[in-house]
Amino acid sequence: MPLPGLDAFFAFPAAQRGPLLLEGIRASHRYHFERNAAYRRTVRARGVGSDVGHDDLPRLLRPAALTFKSYVETIGPFPQDDPRGFLAWLDDQLSIPLPEDRQGALRRRYATMEGLLAAAEHAYADLGLELVTSSGTSGIASVVARDATTVDLAVRSFFTGIQRSWGISRGAALVFVMPENTRVAMARSARIGTRQLDWAADTAVYYTMPFSATPDRIRLRAGRTYRPGPRGVVESRILHPLMAWADARLVAQKYVGVTLSRLRELTAAGRPLMLLGGLAQLHAVALESRVDLPAGSRVATGGGTKEQYPFTPDQIRADLVAAFGGAPVSDVYGMAEADWAAFECPRGNYHIPPWVYAVVTDDADRIVQAPVASGLLAFFDPVAGGDLIPPFFQTADRVTLVNGGAHYDPGLVCDCGYDSPHIAGRIQRVDLMEEAGCAAQI
């Protein structure tokens, strides 16, 4: 049975979504199991075949970070040194074959990861290949492939959420405190979306981070993974401190200035706007100056705080509200590996799109069966996940999920009226064990 389109899911009775999505998951699994070598290897080792039942669902979930950083195990953390090895890894990860005749178009090596990813995108431009990356703190980038179809689904998902959850639609100005040229998934979705959905035609769109954010820059900035040998010494002793200094002294000053100038300009014109950026970046803007945004405007934060930051999210939000004239401040939760995002509603809950089958798993990787369940968030996205990569992933985020999976309690529908699975309360990253003592990772 074909699955309905994204918009149709909003009208579909919530109690009936589960069975429909489960059927979609089975079909999606069968499709990818037959075509995707990496996925098949993983789930087969877990004892899963091409046909699955409800009990098999947890065994279809792959940890997102593990999956999209797995190139490290085969070609090392610097794929630019082995472009063919990288393409072989990519081919292994995809459910469509990468035409082999393009490999000759790639050089033997690239100076940067950005160079390699751009060349690979160029070589497979006819597929609409987009390689987005995470902005993780380890410096090792998750590399997630999207094709024209999944890009389209991701941006439609993102902009559908913006419209439905926050009431931001075409005509409102968009100010993104992020670079226009980046591979970070949400920023790229924003850029592609405004272009592809033709918002830019009647919507002013601004990117106020006047520097590119390539995976190489992000790695150096993180300061945890360096090239081997003398180059690594230069990176660790010179480039990393230099970037830290430049970020603190120059970059912040620059984007804060550009952002404030855009906000003042739009405010003077009385044009409602959505200001979107990372918590720390928006906080820097808020601490610099106060701008009373026009009615109908919204401030949107995303990405959490990646590094130690001396203010809590609650403190930052309070500062944002005060600095931007009481405009509502909302958060968005998303990740490179997902073609969807969860938007925070006025009740403080993060709504997962109704076409996503979201669950939480316990410490033994079992799905927690309850309408209100706490554990690590995992999701199956048989509708918008596309045909490129099996869209079944376990995140490293501990959440409390309401009305997720097969559970639906009408009494637990969010007071905001949006009837979808939602994350209640805080989202906590659990990469490391709590009180790990002497045994943590090195």
Partner 1 sequence: MNRSGRYTAAFDGFWLPRSMREKVLSGATWETAYLRGGALVQPPAGGTTLTGAAENSAVTVRWPRLTPEQWTTLLAGLQASRTVAGAETAARWQVALENALAPLAEQMPDMLPLLSASTGYTPEMLTAALAGSDLVDPSSLAAALGFRPAWSVATRWETLPGLGGRIRFFPQGVSARARAVLTGNAPLFRPVPPVDLTLGYAAGNVPGTALIISLLGSLANHAAPDGTPAPAAVVRNSRHEPLFTPWVLSAVEAVDPDLVAGLAVMIWDYDDPALQALLFRSAGLMLAAADDGTIAALDAWRARYAPDLRFHRHGHKVSFVTLGSHWAARPDAPHQAALDSSFWDQNGCLSARVHFVEAGAPEYARALADEMRSLSQVLPRGATPRRFTHRAFDSYASLTGSGRVRMLSEYDDDFAVILDDRPWDAGALRRAANYCQGRVVVVRPVDDVMEVPRLLRGLPAPNLQSMGVLLDSGRLEPFAQEVGARGVTALRSLGRGAFPQLAYSWDGLLPMDICHLRPLGQFTTIEPEPSSTSDLGV
Residues that bind partner 1 (CB under 8 A): 37-38, 41-42, 45-47, 59, 62-63, 66, 70, 72-74, 76-77, 361, 363-365, 376, 433-442
Nearer to partner 1, 72 or 321 (CB): 72
Smallest gap, in angstroms, from Cβ of residue 1 to partner 1? 31
Cβ atoms 381, 354 nearer than 8 A? no
User: Alpha carbon 65 to chain centroid distance?
Assistant: 12
Shortest reach from residue 376's CB to partner 1, in Å = 8
Which residue, 33 or 199, has its beta carbon nearer to partner 1? 33
Listed in sequence order, the DSSP H helices in 167-239 are 185-196, 215-222, 229-234
Least distance between partner 1 and beta carbon 45 (Å): 4
Min dist. Cβ of residue 21 to partner 1 (A) = 24
Strands (DSSP E) found in 129-190? 130-133, 143-146, 173-179
CA distances from 308 to 137, 184, 282, 311 (A): 11, 20, 16, 9
Residue closer to partner 1 (CB basis): 61 or 273: 61
Report in angstroms how near the CB of residue 28 gets to partner 1 at its nearest: 19
CB of 123 to partner 1, least distance (A): 24
> Of 329 and 378, which has the nearer Cβ to partner 1?
378
Of 72 and 200, CB closest to partner 1: 72
- CB-wise, 39 or 110, nearer to partner 1? 39
Phi, psi of 161 (to 5 degrees): -65, -45
∠ CA(176), CA(217), CA(183), 5° rounding? 50
E strand or H helix that includes residue 19: helix 14-35
CB of 329 to partner 1, least distance (A): 26
Q: How many Å apart are CA 281 and CA 256, to the nearest integer?
A: 8
Which helix (H) or strand (E) segment holds residue 74: the answer is: helix 71-75
Nearer to partner 1, 32 or 298 (CB): 32
* Nearest-5° Cα angle at 91, 86 to 94: 125
Question: Measured from the CB atom, is 38 or 185 closer to partner 1?
Answer: 38
Q: Packing angle between helix 83-93 and helix 37-45, nearest 10 degrees?
A: 60
DSSP letters spanning 276-321: EEEHHHHHHHHHH----PPTT-EEEEES---S--SS-HHHHHHHHH
Choice between 265 and 365, CB closer to partner 1: 365
Closest by alpha carbon to 135, among 178, 177, 184?
A: 184
Q: Residue 111 CB, nearest distance to partner 1 (Å)? A: 20
Q: How far is the CB of 85 from partner 1 (least distance, A)?
A: 12
Alpha-carbon distance 442 to 318, whole Å? Answer: 36
Give one word for 381, left, alpha or beta, with left for phi > 0 and alpha for psi -120 to 50: beta
